[in-house]
Structure 1
């Protein structure tokens, strides 16, 4: 009897919103976006939610930090339309992207270690000598310039490209990453990080921050997975078995 009473609990939009610092309009927007299952309506047209909707909201909010708002939205929409396999694929893609980000970080760290003897200051050089140093064709360096990896200045009299020590450093780093299989569009933002940090030495804190963000995202994915699993259990539990309504929103439980 207690289980049946619990399964019939009706919640207002404010009951869902209050515990998460949301507005009631946000809850309604989430329902309209397919993040929450469709709500029942009273004879006067007011929305009524259930503990299942509370679980859906908790799952979505837990998924956002690890998967981003658009992906979390797509995951919840898939689950709510009964396409769990689509949701799992989206989750797998997020994990694959995180793994790729970790590999990129390791590649940058390895490339920077290899660059340890590279000069951060010194004389300037031209495209031919730099190309020979790297074992590349001058055309490759010009392609890197067009891709935004290098920014040599032009000699005002001859028009020749002049590479500063910072340009040489960026070329060496790009060469290391290209040998690691990275595309120019992947390398460009990494070179920009080095340039904005003022060189390799100050980049240590940037790399540590990068690692911390990846770790935080991994942890957030675990939290999101647990919340989504709880929602899936509630969705598939037979009515009246107590599982669907075992956990009411904190705001409702406080009265």
Structure 2
């Protein structure tokens, strides 16, 4: 009985926009914006038209801010809006999609690391004098020359041109790019997802400088996974409070 009375008293507690804002270092306008976006339930109004919030609104704000780091603003907003509209299953679907995206990102990172590791352990064939032409390189990779030309059009490889014949000539960097593209294509990744990575390899000046980038990628994925756990805990608390 004491617990029910305490809960009843707590639900009647009035909070001003500034009370919610101060707890999280927000502006009162931000709190009002969150309400208008459906992130918070609709506020009650005083006879003079001022907004008044309750602990339920504070719980919604905590849940939203906890969801942000793991899911991003659009998805976190959609999750809270769905919950506040009573569409809890839709909120769970959105959360599942975020987890699926994180898993896909982990698989992409794994494929990139496998491709880089494969490039690192294989001893490349000695470069041909003046570079490698499209036919020999295609045979070395086990692909058709047309595939190399397609990769060139997509920006994955940048062969030079023989000034006398106009034939494509692949120097050491272009051969490396072609081998990396080949490994990632074997992993099933589309050209548009491969191109940014190869551009990064070129900018870094080779494969070794990418180690810090890959470590940072791992750290960011781990941080997202942990943030999703924190967000889930706050959302569960909010769902219990809603009843």
The alignment status of 1:37 with 2:41, answered yes or no, reads: yes
SS of 1:115's equivalent in the other structure is helix
CA RMSD of aligned residues (A): 1.7
TM (norm. structure 1) is 0.87
Matches within 5 A, 1:140-179: 140-179=147-186
Task: Decide whether the 8 Å contact of 1:120 with 1:199 is kept in 2.
Answer: no
Quick check: 2:11–2:56 contact (8 Å CA) kept in 1? no
Q: CA deviation at 1:138?
A: 1.2
| TM-score normalised per structure 2 | 0.92
- Report the number of matched residues: 236
Structure 1 segments of 4+ aligned residues over 6 angstroms from their partners: none
Q: Find 1:13's aligned residue among 13, 17, 42.
A: 17
Structure 2 unaligned blocks of 5 or more: none
Does 2:220 correspond to 1:213?
A: yes
Q: Which has the higher contact order (CA 8 A, sep 6+)?
A: 1
- 1:157: Cα distance to partner? 4.3
**Deviations 1:199-229 (CA, angstroms, capped at 9, x unpaired):** 1111111111110111111100100110111
- Encode CA deviations 1:160-180: one digit per residue, 9 max, x unaligned: 322221111111111111111
Q: Kindly indicate which of the two structures has a greater share of residues assigned to helix.
A: 2
Query: Residues 3-54 of structure 1: CA distance to partner in whole angstroms, max 9, x if unpaired?
Result: 3222100111111110111100000011111111111111111111111111
Take 1:199 and 1:98, find their aligned partners in 2: how far apart are those partners? 27
Shift of 1:77: 0.9
Q: More deviation in 222-231 or 2-11? A: 2-11
Q: Distance in 1 between matches of 2:125 and 2:200?
A: 15
Q: Alignment partner of 2:24: what SS?
A: coil
Cα distance in 2 for partners of 1:135, 1:222 equals: 45
